[in-house]
Each structure stands twice: as C-alpha cells, then as structure tokens.
Chains A and B, each alone.
Chain A
C-alpha cells in the first residue's frame, strides 16, 4: 500500500472523516462516489496532479477551488472545509511550543498541516498527549495550592513532622550522648515509644485523608476545570432543566462535594441555566428558529428578550435545531468564565485569549451587539461568525460600577466570498504566528506564515 494513501481502507477508519482535514475529506468523498481523481480534477478545473497534492494535504485549498470541488462532489463546502482541523493544528502548535529547548530534533513547524493530513491518527494522539500533560500540570498546580492552603492537610502534616522532629531529636540524644544517665535513658525511650505510636496514627490519618477526604481525584482540579468538565460532559445541555426541573436535583446527582469551589460554580451555572430556560422555553425558541433562523438579533426582537439570553439559549439547543454553536463569556477583567467550543475555532482557558477577540470590546459597549467574521491563523482556517453582547450581571451603586459580563457567540461563517475580510485573530499569543500583531503580549514560538494566501495584518 502506498504509505501516503491515507484514504484507503485500513488507514482511515469509518467516522474518522469528522476529525480529518480538508484534503482527506475530499479524497474520502471522491472515493465514496467512485470518482476517479482525473475526473474530479477535470470537473474542478485543476490538474490531477494538483488534486493529488490537495488530497494528500500537501497543498492548501480554499475559495473558488474548494467551491468547485464541493459542487463536483455534490456536498456543501462546509462539509469539506469546516471541522476540527484548525483545532487539531493549533493543538499541534501547542505541543510544539512545549517541546524541550535544545532537543536534538525540533518539530517541523512549517509542515504541521502536512503532518496532520498525512497522519491524522498520530496528530490526534500528539494533541491528546499534550492535553493529558496539561491536565496533569493543572492537577499538580492544584495539589501544590492545596498543600499550601488546605488547613486540615497543613495541620496533619504539622503533626506528623512535629512527631518526626521529636523522634529524630530524641534518638540523637540516645545515640550521641555518652554516659547518659539511666533515668534520662528510660525517659527518652518512653518518649520514643509514645512518639512512634503517635507517628503511626498520624500517618494513618493523613493517608486516610488523602485517600478518602474531599481532595482526591476531582478536587485537585481547579473549580473552573470542574465546571468545564461538568458542562462538557453534559454537552452544555440539561433536558431536566428544559422541562422545568430543579437545578438542585441536577447538582445533587452530579455528586460534587458541597462546600467546594466547584460545587459553588456548578450550582450557579445550573441556576442560570434553569432561569434562562424559564425565561425562554425551548419550544418557543425552536419555533422562532424555524421561522427566523438562528440570527440572534432577529430572535431577540421577535421574542422580546435580551440578546445575551438568546446567545446562552442557542448554545443549549440541540445541534439539529440550532446547528453548531460555540459560546465564550468573560468578566470585566477579561477572565474567561465559560467556554463552549466550536470546532474550527481554537480556544483555551489557560494561556489567556487573543485580545483582538470582539468579546473583549463587548463590555465597553454594553448596549451594542457586535457582529464580525473572524479567522484564526493557518491556511486551512475557516472564518467563523462572532456575535457579541454584554449584560449587567450585578447593578452598580454609588462609586461602584455595574458588574458586566460579555458573551461571544460563534457560528460557522459561510464559505462564500464576503465584501468584508474576516478579522485575523489568534488563539493565544504564544502559538500565534502573527508576529507583527500590535496586540501581542509575548513572543510567539512559531515562524511567520510563508504562504501568500495567509491572512496578515
């Protein structure tokens, strides 16, 4: 078998197309239709050798050629071009950023797309490994934080170390003091006996606390990580709450220990969801979407509700009703509060987001909804449509401004040409190749993009 033949049986499993990149998808679709490469190339107006390069992800594709190939294959262009490739490639860039300095073989950053296309399984594995390492790093941070701030653990460690100190000091006296009087010997032997028993008991208590206490497994993630995991695990949707159910019951079933930061955050998220569902029931929103589509402003005007509520409710709708929807929210400091990913638009909470995201302008213009197409770096990146709005999360008072919360809804943008070019934005500065960006916080580890069709400032 040709080692490049990633579209043939055995190399690409059924279903793998969802995570593959554009060239691979084209090849899959062509083979499904029994089309020869030459035939598709002719219909698309390109040479067979060029199509071969595209199918093996050695040439990037977009614009008119993508539209012609999609038409020839009888599929929507988004079906070929829109997907997880941007996130996969961003993930690989992150992995490259984590490569140890001075390693014998540095990752070939200029061939990331080719690698992702030719070896999607390996690429996903590399990203999954990175995510696992990041998760472990977060757990280590949380554990360090816990060691520093958990009063019960601090008291337990203090007790154990104090007994160890007493034992060490007493044993040294017994072994180092020449001619120690018998009464002192007896006294220190007795102390050693007592201390050894206390040490055993203290160590047992400590191990028991670490094994069973409110601290292992889930708890050593940060509360925000716990919230993300909880919401991701439920697909950001709660059927029980859509039907008027009690958020307290959902919280109880989640099994998050009460009194923890995660419990507080999840409880607040569920209360907000339940309130939103009461203010805008699913049936009313679905009916409005059937009439008007998913345009949030039109929906807000028709239903007489605020735009941020429409955003949150769209993000909770099943994909067959509202299509793929991403949502990110932030407070006035720019801290990301919530994050529902949209395939094709990479977002990460840890490293700080791109300050060019319109999300961060929404808070300054709370009455104004912004609408802008965005594109992240990478020649295969597809534009997304970002709509932003802000709302008052808590009222202000004398010398106290209102507490604002900003939202950015993300929808797949049409592939068709638009009179206005999408705004080039990034994911996070460290893995963003737009070196000349004036919003840059820190240097990028990536080289400048070399392709003529790459978006630039």
Chain B
C-alpha cells in the first residue's frame, strides 16, 4: 500500500515541487495550506508522515506539532519540520516540541527525499 505524506505549507510552489518529487518517488502526497484547519486535516488523513512548516498563517507549526503529540492516536506520527530560519533556537524549539527531524529552507530535493525515506521507511508502493 502506498504510504501517505501530508504536507502543511503555505507556499504553493513549494507544495507543487515537493508533491511532484515525492509522487515520482512513490508517495501519495496530500497538502494543506496554512495553520487554520490543519489539525482537522491531520486527523482526517492519518498520514504516515507529516511535513510541517513552522511559520504558517493563523497557527504556528509548533502549536500544530504540540497538538499532534498530545493526541494519543496521532502522537507517534513522524513529523518533519520545515523553517526558513535555520537558527539553533528554532531547532531546539522543534526538538522540544517533539519534531522527528528539522530541515532549514532552502533545502535540496535530494535532502527532502532522504529525510522522508528515513522517517517513513521508504515509500510503500515501491
């Protein structure tokens, strides 16, 4: 069964590029723009991996991550956090909030693929 990735990101062309490369790698990608309604999407999709931007309109990625980790059914889902600020402070905050991995923008497609494969154990369809 193909593994699912949920991408929560407010930059439409990043969504399109990541969706393309992950789809070509065998992942089923769903996306959601912005922080509002993100938890509803997380609960509805039950993805194998969540890629979550830190700086989102309406709700920050850290808040959404805290909600995910507090939910008994979703708490174990691997979460890859993206931020445009690769500062140590953000990395530490992401680790404290329970991020599985942290990736600073701008990243390469190869780095993204490697991180997704490492966190979700390879695409289910391949």
> Residues of A with Cβ closer than 8 Å to B?
148, 154-155, 157-166, 168-170, 172-173, 176-177, 184, 187-188, 191, 194-195
Contacts and interface: CB of A to CB of B under 8 A. Distances in A.
Nearest to A172: B109
Given A165-B105, A170-B17, A173-B21, A148 B89 contact: yes
B103 to A, nearest CB: 10
B109 A157 contact: no
Contacts of A177: 24
A162 B105 contact: yes
Interface in B76-109: 83-85, 87, 89, 105-109
A366 B79 CA distance: 56
A257 to B, nearest CB: 25
A169 B85 contact: no
A194 B89 contact: no
Contacts of B109: 169, 172-173, 176
A334 to B, nearest CB: 27
11 contacts: A148-B87, A154-B55, A158-B84, A162-B11, A166-B11, A168-B107, A169-B14, A173-B17, A191-B13, A194-B13, A195-B13
Contacts of A184: 20
A170 B106 contact: no
A169 B18 contact: yes
Given A157-B84, A168-B108, A163 B11 contact: yes
**A-B complex: 7 closest residue pairs judged by Cβ atoms:** A161-B84, A169-B17, A166-B13, A158-B84, A165-B106, A165-B105, A162-B11
Given A158-B85, A163-B13, A191-B13, 11 more contacts: A148-B87, A154-B55, A161-B106, A165-B105, A166-B13, A166-B17, A169-B109, A173-B21, A187-B16, A188-B20, A195-B13
Contacts of A164: 105-106
A167 to B, nearest CB: 8
Interface string B50-93: 00000100000000000000000000000000011101010000
Interface residues of B, number: 22
Given A168-B106, A172-B108, A184-B20, A162 B89 contact: no
Contacts of B106: 161, 164-165, 168-169
Contacts of A157: 84-85
A309 B35 CA distance: 55
Interface string B104-119: 0111110010000000
Contacts of A161: 84-85, 105-106
A154 B119 CA distance: 28
A257 B104 CA distance: 34
Nearest to A195: B13
Nearest to A156: B84
B5 to A, nearest CB: 15
A187 B13 CA distance: 10
B11 A191 contact: no
Nearest to A184: B20
Question: Which of A162, A177, A188 has the most chain B CB atoms inside 10 A of its CB?
Answer: A162
Contacts of A155: 55
A164 B86 CA distance: 14
B17 to A, nearest CB: 4
A353 to B, nearest CB: 30
Contacts of B13: 163, 166, 170, 191, 194-195
A168 B108 CA distance: 7
Contact of A158 (B20, B55, B108, B112): B55
Contact of A165 (B20, B55, B89, B107): B107
Interface string B32-64: 000000000000000000000001000000000
Nearest to A159: B84
